[in-house]
Amino acid sequence: MPSDLSPIDKAKFVAAKRATDYVENGMKVGLGTGSTAAWLVKCLGEMVREEGLKITGVPTSSRTAALAREVGIEITSLDEARWLDLTIDGADEYDANLNLIKGGGGALLQEKIVATSSDRMVVIADIGKQVETLGAFPLPVEVIPFGWQTTKALIEETLVGMDVMGRTTTLRLNGDTPFMTDEGNYILDMHLNRIANSRQLSLVINQIPGIVENGLFIDICDAVVIGYGDGRVEVRDINEGTVETDKIDFLDNDNLFSDLSD
């Protein structure tokens, strides 16, 4: 194992590796977007090449699609797959009820569509993503470019009546230009600090014209696999009400670390 691998990257890897236990031959699997999900795609690619695993992946972004092809995973569109057995994805925050904030990578719309088109959603994350109350991570909302400044003003006006600690909204940039999603939309990041009622906020925000979707994933996640820098893994299943612990051996998986750039 490379000596310069950070504890955070180790935690992401062991969470991803443990989550592959949910994947079985013949499954149609939603593949998330982001640095933690990239570890998962790498792990699944190794299983395809070395163990003969046969799955069909449905990527949640063009980045994930490119990585899946690179490691040898057969992919298809959600329209072709229609319904999925499982989606595995990362999260920017999760609370005790496994409600999430997602969208730090800008793929929240495809991620939410794919996750809600699956029998089961499993989140992989390091322990640093766990919070008591959602909102410390800026909540992304995907908006159409037309009239986005008006949409932004409507969001900030709406937030006056919501139980949140911050009300600043910023346009996400890619250098000097607006960040563009795979659907050609913009992302507005809401700096709320604390969201007292995430379910209510999600419903209210989605009523504003111009908003396509928000990054609150409420009652969608079934289990979270939490990785630690020392190789420990904790699996919390919200439906079964169970908590399991495990430990992943890094030494058998050194080849995964050599070329993972995400």
Asked if 102 and 47 count as a contact pair (C-beta separation under 8 A), the reply is no
Q: Of 111, 157, 183, 234, which one is the catalytic site residue?
A: 111
CA dist., res. 157 & res. 152, Å (int) = 9
Active site residue 111: yes
CA dist., res. 201 & res. 164, Å (int) = 9
Give the strand order in the sheet containing 139-143.
168-171, 186-191, 139-143, 211-214
Instruction: Cite the beta strand spans of the chain per DSSP E.
Output: 28-31, 56-59, 74-75, 86-89, 93-94, 100-101, 121-126, 139-143, 168-171, 173-174, 177-178, 186-191, 211-214, 216-217, 223-227, 232-237, 242-247
Phi-psi region of 26 (alpha: psi -120 to 50; beta: other; left: phi over 0): left
Q: Which of 147, 158, 220, 219 lies closest to 190 in space, CA to CA?
A: 158
Asked if 92 and 137 count as a contact pair (C-beta separation under 8 A), the reply is yes
Q: Which of 104, 105, 38, 101 lies closest to 65 in space, CA to CA?
A: 38
Which residues are annotated as catalytic? Answer: 111
